Structure 1
Amino acid sequence: MALFDLPRAELERYLPDVAEPADLDAFWARTLQEARTHDLALRVEPVDTGLRLVEVFDVSFAGFGGQPIKAWLTVPAHRSGPLPAVVEYNGYGGGRGLPQGHLAFAAAGYASLFMDTRGQGSQWGDGGGTPDLAGSGPAHPGFLTRGLERPEDHYYRRVFTDAVRAVEAVRALDLVDPARVAVAGASQGGLIALAVAGLVPDLVGVMADVPFGCHFARAVEITDTTPYAEVTKYLAVHRDRAEQTFRTLSYVDGVNLGRRATAPLLSSVALMDTICPPSTVYAAFKHYGTRAGTTPDKTLEVYEFNNHEGGGGHQLARQLPWLHQNMAAAAPVAEAIR
């Protein structure tokens, strides 16, 4: 795939005006307040996976509407004291799969919580175990157009709420240091991580790779790949719903929620990415933290000749020392809190 978006020099100057609803903060405050009226219902059960250097737990907790969300918790078998933690979110269409596939952060010394994504898990990977118990109006196959009629009904309102509750769940564990929690994800997982960064004020770090769901209006205009093509195909049928569609999506846009973030960010972009166009990732990066008073530290790793795989293992190799540094910097604060 050749370059198809703006040249790199223009991308580095790119700062688009991304529409944001006036009631965005109130919308999400109401949403999370309602979610917290439900008991967290945290359940943690050990699982024998055959792995000897880590311990694995099957976790469930109450997400949006009090509905059960599953996750894998993986921790080093030999540990002392409360651990810093990483909450990880998955890519589009995948589920939590098997715990044997989520070992990197535990191997690096962290408690690792990998959240299942409601309703997903049947497009690739090893499956998921969390149904989406809420319905929606007419939608194109996939998840992006579910509930486009109203922001209150949109699929990602539920998912982002689940993701915030996942952070609350990991912080409720005795083996986790609640003052040292980071979030991570790629593609859809990167979007979810950006959203959580804007909704949870005291994270240690955010790792959002080739994030999906940023600057929807531009993405739909310049790429015809899924998931963005779901919106195009939906509007090709529902010709009178464009204004409402983009209004609804503005409530879950990673640019708008990421503006509110306060935690340091390590992100990545691939300049030949046809799934999450580079300009949309730059939009999220440039706007990240700009509503936080003081803009947090942020770094964007650029992979010039890669498609949506981004940096792959090279990005993980970049993440680990960055994560160690940020967790170490937060350690005195954590000690003071305790």
Structure 2
Amino acid sequence: MNIARWVGVIVLLGLLARAEVPELTALVPQATGYELIAKLDPTAYAGSGYTIDRSEILGGDVKRIGYLLKLTDKQGELSWVFAAMDPFITDIARLGMPTPGGDIFQDYVTNLEVFSNVPAIKTGAFPKGNVEIWGCNYGGTNNKNIPGATSAFDFGDQPDSNGNGNYGCLQVHNYEQKQVVLAFNKFTAGKTCDLGIGNNTDVEANFGGSKTPNPDWTFSSSGQNYQQAELFIVAKIDNLTVKEVVLLDGNKASLTGTLDREQALFAPGEEMAFNLVADFQGQEPSNDYFITWERTGDDGVKDSGKAKVGPEPLVIKTSLDRPGFVRILAYLVDKNGKRVTKKVMRRGKEAQENLFFDGGAGVDIDKLQGVPEPADFDAFWAKQKARLAAVPMNARLDEQPSKDPKVKIYAVSIDCPGPRPVTGYLTVPADAKEKSLPVSASFHGYGTSIQRAPSGGSDTSINFSVNAHGYDLGQSDDYYKAFFESIKSNGQGYAFDPVQNADPETAYFNGMALRVMRALEYLKSRPEWDGKTLTVGGGSQGGLQTVWAAGLDTDVVKASAGVPWCCDLGGVTLGRITAGWRLPYVEALNYYDPINHAKRIPTSCYVDINRAGLGDYTCPPSGVAILYNNIRGPKRINWVQGSTHGYVPPKAQTFVLEQK
């Protein structure tokens, strides 16, 4: 046995020797004989996982299950509740936190005991209660007909029938008293998870400001109200045993998928073979691991399976009988269906990410087309250009500090029709001569990040980093927080409100597109511009803006659009896979759909779609394929296998199409 294994055994035996949970007995002295199964901080679970997890190493006969939730508010006041019950599951390994696609426990329980220091909680012994424990999304429908439950999120809800989504909940209820005992929901949210003891009655602590808060704390984001939170999962176990277990370290493992050909393109009915490989990189875990997978497609057909990881790749064979795409989504899971995770950094913070493969392949994708464009598409945009021409540019430049003496940096504001001006940061070579330089504009992805001044730039070209929203530059964090709240519409994030989008001139994208055109006008007005080279680029929402720019301004000579957003929004009406994060479709959005702007890109402009993910369902492959099809001039697209919107696998299989 190696040293790591010996250390693991010593630690586990030390935990076993306690035979009590001191944090529990300090609050409930009579709660003796419980073993700690797992401990976690709900507000850090998304990034750090368990503090302690003994679910794999304990064995025996489960006689009681208990949950202790301790919450310390910002004023230092401790609230706690302990709920114990007869077992609804006797497999100790399945007593930990639920996972997406895993166990769904929606069960009555017997001999419920409740202890708490919260006055509103009904304490004592009760004949029955119920639990709702799952890792997927859920709705408020009382599908189990729990007595007293309603269509609100309370003690009788409805988990997603296919186990989809990852919102999750771990809830204990005293339904006969119409009371939520404890709740931890929204497992992936960190500090803004849902946490509560008793029924939620706080209108303010409820998503969207609803006047009827959800009793089970769903959508409350109440985790942010606590400076400390602890959840203990415990059990009374007869014939207790402890075993040595070597678990798989997800940080040292991978799940990859490839096709057995050089292009991800097939004929109708032709067999596709996806080879999925789980690489443990020399690890020898004690238990078996599995790959679970689901096949969906633009034909509406679904298939799924599960296979034990072995020395040979898992081969998934499928086909598609019409133009479109097939999607294969797979996860690496343990013997209990719990997904294996690894630690990643997101926006400077550590988080947990599943080991997954999300990819696919296409059939006759050159034949794909979107819904018909508006009959007055060109007239609409002629009108918007007339609006633009009626407002003088009136550019204002405020020079910023530069660490490079060869480059000058300016904060720019340019008048524009619509609610706000064009704003952004411009970099100009210090010794620029008249008519000597190329110019470029870059556009940003969706979000509420704050644009700050760069420290330098190119000394051979003029570059304009264009803000998508036209907000004031160089302001306080409070200003930007208030700004992003102000651009919401009907409780929706910007651009997502179908009411606002029903009229193309009130759509949020209208002002954004006007700012794109005005930014290019300004660049072309610079005396240093060589009169020939105007390039544009961006990813996601920036890719959307890039296509607008190339379609609305004939002087653009190169457009580099990565994972372009909002392509083929109307595809949802044609049965295509549209499972990702997308705007609710209304016909007026066709004026902004890049597949229609692509038709207007002149043949003098080279368009490079530098990444299109075959597993990206924020920007579904079908929509990006239609965008490519509609470009009349020189073009290139780089299809990346296993790539989602924000993830590119190491050494990913790529498939490039190009027309010169």
Give the TM-score range, shorter chain.
Answer: 0.7 to 0.9
Query: 2 CA distance for matches of 1:59 and 1:130?
Result: 21
- Structure 1, 186-195 or 77-86: larger mean CA deviation: 77-86
Q: Separation in 1 of the partners of 2:487 and 2:379?
A: 24
**2:639 alignment partner, one of 288, 293, 302:** 302
Deviation at 1:306, TM superposition (A): 1.7
RMSD (Å), alpha carbons? 3.4
1:251 aligns with 2:591: yes
Q: Which residue of 1 aligns with 2:512?
A: 159
Greater relative contact order (CA < 8 Å, ≥ 6 in sequence) = 1
Q: Aligned equivalents of 1:191 and 1:161: distance in 2?
A: 13
More divergent stretch after superposition (25-34 vs 7-16): 7-16
How far off its partner does 1:79 sit?
4.5
Q: In 2, Cα distance between the equivalents of 1:173 and 1:307?
A: 38
* Pairs within 5 Å for 1:46-125: 46-65=399-418, 67-77=420-430, 79-81=432-434, 82-94=436-448, 97-100=451-454, 103=457, 106=458, 109-118=460-469
Q: 2:28 maps to which residue?
A: none
Q: CA deviation at 1:99?
A: 3.1
Q: Which amino acid letter does the alignment assign opposite residue 644 of structure 2?
A: N
Deviations 1:255-305 (A, max 9, x none): 0111111121111311121321111111111112xxxxxx21111122223
Contact 2:420 2:511 in 1 (8 A): no
Structure 1 residues 1-338: aligned runs within 5 Å: 6-7=325-326, 8-10=361-363, 12-65=365-418, 67-77=420-430, 79-81=432-434, 82-94=436-448, 97-100=451-454, 103=457, 106=458, 109-118=460-469, 138=490, 140-145=492-497, 147-218=500-571, 222-226=577-581, 228=582, 230-231=583-584, 245-262=585-602, 263-267=605-609, 268-288=611-631, 295-309=632-646
Change (3 A) 1:273 1:4: farther
Task: Please report how far the alpha carbon of residue 217 of structure 1 lies from its aligned counterpart in structure 2 after TM superposition.
Answer: 2.2
Q: How many Å apart are 1:30 and its aligned residue? A: 0.5
Contact 2:538-2:545 at 8 Å conserved across structures: yes
Q: Distance in 2 between matches of 1:60 and 1:275?
A: 31
Contact 2:541–2:565 at 8 Å: present in 1 too?
yes
Alignment partners' CA distance in 1, 2:456 and 2:561? 17
Alignment TM-score, normalising by the size of structure 2: 0.39
Q: Displacement, 1:51? A: 3.7
CA 1:142–1:224 in structure 2 vs 1: closer, same or farther (change >3 Å)? farther
Gaps of 5+ in 1: 232-244, 289-294, 315-325, 327-338
1:130-158 per-position Cα deviation (integer Å, ceiling 9, x unaligned) = 969x9896462332326222112111111
Give the Cα separation in 1 of the matches to 2:364 and 2:586: 23
Per-residue deviation, 1:53:
4.4
Q: Between the two proteins, what is the percent identity of the paired residues?
A: 24
Higher gyration radius (CA):
2
1:67 Cα offset (Å): 3.5
What is the letter of the counterpart of residue 72 of structure 1?
A: Y
Structure 2: gaps of 5 or more residues: 1-255, 258-294, 298-324, 327-360, 652-659
Change (3 A) 1:219 1:93: farther
- Measure the CA separation in 1 of the matches of 2:624 and 2:456: 25
1:62 CA displacement: 1.6
Contact 2:370 2:570 in 1 (8 A): no
Contact map agreement 1:185 1:209 (CA 8 A) in 2: yes
More helix per residue: 1 or 2? 1
Instruction: Report deviation, 1:22.
Output: 0.2
Distance 1:67 1:92 in 2: 17
User: How far does residue 191 in structure 1 lie from its aligned partner after superposition?
Assistant: 0.7
Amino acid at match of 1:26: A
Once residues 188 and 154 of structure 1 are traced to their aligned partners in structure 2, the CA distance between those partners, rounded to angstroms, is 15
- Is the CA contact (8 Å cut-off) linking 2:400 and 2:453 kept in structure 1? no
CA distance in 2, matches of 1:248, 1:265: 26
Secondary structure (helix, strand or coil) at the match of 1:275 reads coil
Q: Secondary structure at the match of 1:64?
A: coil
Between stretches 301-310 and 254-263, larger displacement belongs to: 301-310
- Greater per-residue strand proportion: 2
